[in-house]
């Protein structure tokens, strides 16, 4: 079995596991080229959970799909770079990508009932995946399958190995999906709304499981969600997406408690909170209007028509990246400092990127 393309020897242990730079995804249509992702940049470190949060239409799922080359024609990558431990993913052909998926990048999608093949037992699916991506015998594959089930907390795993997907409850099925994602020993897991279809009590369990397993194994996680509460509790860093662009990306606590971008602030103000601590009967903040559709993205900063702090510059020029401590933000309220390289990266060594 061919091994997946090996990581670049030049990638050092400190370098981020996944680097997405100025990623653009485009869809050519009769009416012109639409860009559901328009210049998205972020990084994910080993054993780190990055939340990618945004409302519907912000481009978070498409970003995840683009990273592993799961875009359906005519949608395609239109620019930028995606690098996984030194290997370029955006320029890979389909055969190479197929070897990457499962072996180096695992995926967890939203609906557990469609992620599992209803005609195969859980054990079969796990063992098959192990065989496809690891250099193991059939017997070893089955052992790994059993261990995987135990790791994700399926009770009586030995008996459940030969059970069918429909015999599991929703939460159990999602655990199996996580087991499937991790059995190939990937370096990165992309989880797209993994708990949205589950009850809230199960959601907490699944997220805790994902976090524990990935941090233990040094696996980086890209967690796509629309739920700010999930972001707060589960992620180390968060990227806030708006209309296919990043508003800001930084440590979760910093971004949520001290947001730099007015959109993030608006989003936090609009989110109701169940925490017993807070007096949350204050009126929810409203952001007037709605996120622009694909064909109607405003010039300059995409958020400026709805922004309470918009300036004249905001409608004319797209904001360039600026670093404030460990956060990168794209907003003219925080312009890149003088003495900064033209693409907006801070020359200081602090920050998410050199």
Partner 1 sequence: MSTPDDAVLVEVERLSRRFDVSSAWLNRIVRREPRRILTAVDDVSLRVRQGETYALVGESGSGKSTIAKMIVGLLAPSEGTVRIGGADPTGARGAALTALRRRVQMIFQDPYASLNPRWRVLDIVGEPMRVFGLARERREVARRVGALLEQVGLSADDTAKFPHEFSGGQRQRIGIARALASEPELIVCDEPTSALDVSVQAQVLNLMRDLQGDLGLTYLFITHDLSVVRYMADTIGVLYLGRLVESAPRETLFTEPAHPYTRMLLDAAPRLDGFGRRHATDGGEVPDPIRPPTGCHYHPRCGYRVAGCDERYPPVRDIGLRTVRCFEAERVLAASRPDAGRANGADAHPPR
Q: Summarize as ranges the residues that interact with partner 1 (CB under 8 A).
A: 55-56, 153, 169-172, 199-205, 208, 226-230, 232-233, 252-253, 256-257, 266-278, 280-281, 283-287, 290-291
Our CB check for partner 1 shows the closer of 31 and 139 to be 31
Our CB check for partner 1 shows the closer of 289 and 342 to be 289
Our CB check for partner 1 shows the closer of 93 and 277 to be 277
In the chain the first and final C-alpha atoms are separated, in Å, by 37
Number of neighbours of residue 315 by Cβ within 10 angstroms: 14
User: Up-side HSE of residue 81: CA atoms within 13 Å toward CB?
Assistant: 10
Our CB check for partner 1 shows the closer of 274 and 349 to be 274
Length of the chain: 354
Q: Which two tokens stand for residue 99?
A: 């070897």
**Shortest reach from residue 156's CB to partner 1, in Å:** 14
**Shortest reach from residue 256's CB to partner 1, in Å:** 7
Our CB check for partner 1 shows the closer of 122 and 256 to be 256
With beta carbons less than 8 A apart as the criterion, state whether 204 and 171 touch. no
**Shortest reach from residue 106's CB to partner 1, in Å:** 23
Our CB check for partner 1 shows the closer of 289 and 339 to be 289
277: exposed, middle or buried (Cβ count in 10 Å: 0-12, 13-18, 19+): exposed
**Shortest reach from residue 329's CB to partner 1, in Å:** 19
**Shortest reach from residue 294's CB to partner 1, in Å:** 14
Our CB check for partner 1 shows the closer of 177 and 230 to be 230
Q: List C-alpha distances in Å: 206 to 51, 171, 213, 337.
A: 15, 7, 11, 42
**Shortest reach from residue 311's CB to partner 1, in Å:** 22
**Shortest reach from residue 298's CB to partner 1, in Å:** 16
């Amino acid at each position: 079995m061919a091994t997946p393309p090996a990581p670049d020897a030049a990638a050092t242990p400190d370098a981020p596991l996944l680097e997405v730079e100025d990623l653009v995804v485009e869809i050519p249509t009769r009416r012109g080229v639409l860009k559901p992702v328009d210049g998205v940049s972020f990084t994910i470190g080993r054993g780190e959970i990055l939340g990618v949060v945004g409302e519907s239409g912000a481009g978070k799922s498409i970003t995840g799909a683009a990273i592993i080359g799961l875009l359906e024609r005519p949608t395609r990558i239109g620019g930028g770079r995606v690098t996984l431990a030194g290997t370029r993913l955006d320029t890979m052909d389909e055969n190479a990508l197929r070897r990457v998926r499962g072996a180096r990048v695992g995926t967890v999608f939203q609906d557990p009932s469609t992620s599992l093949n209803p005609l195969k037992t859980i054990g079969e699916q796990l063992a098959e995946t192990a065989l496809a991506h690891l250099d193991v015998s059939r017997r070893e594959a089955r052992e790994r399958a059993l261990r995987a089930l135990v790791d994700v907390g399926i009770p009586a795993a030995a008996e459940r190995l030969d059970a069918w997907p429909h015999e599991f409850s929703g939460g159990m099925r999602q655990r199996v999906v996580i087991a499937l994602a991790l059995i190939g020993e990937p370096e990165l897991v992309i989880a797209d709304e993994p708990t949205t279809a589950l009850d809230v009590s199960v959601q907490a369990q699944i997220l805790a499981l994902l976090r524990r397993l990935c941090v233990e194994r040094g696996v980086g996680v890209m967690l796509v969600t629309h739920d700010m509460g999930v972001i707060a509790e589960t992620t180390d860093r968060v990227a806030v997406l708006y209309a296919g662009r990043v508003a800001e990306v930084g440590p979760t606590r910093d971004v949520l408690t001290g947001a730099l971008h007015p959109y993030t602030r608006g989003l936090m103000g609009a989110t109701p909170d169940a925490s017993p601590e807070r007096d949350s009967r204050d009126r929810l903040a409203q952001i007037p209007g709605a996120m622009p559709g694909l064909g109607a993205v405003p010039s300059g900063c995409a958020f400026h028509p709805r922004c309470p702090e918009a300036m004249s510059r905001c409608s004319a020029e797209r904001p360039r990246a600026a670093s404030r401590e460990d956060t990168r933000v794209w907003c003219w309220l925080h312009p890149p400092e003088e003495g900064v390289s033209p693409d907006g990266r801070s020359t200081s060594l602090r920050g998410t990127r050199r």
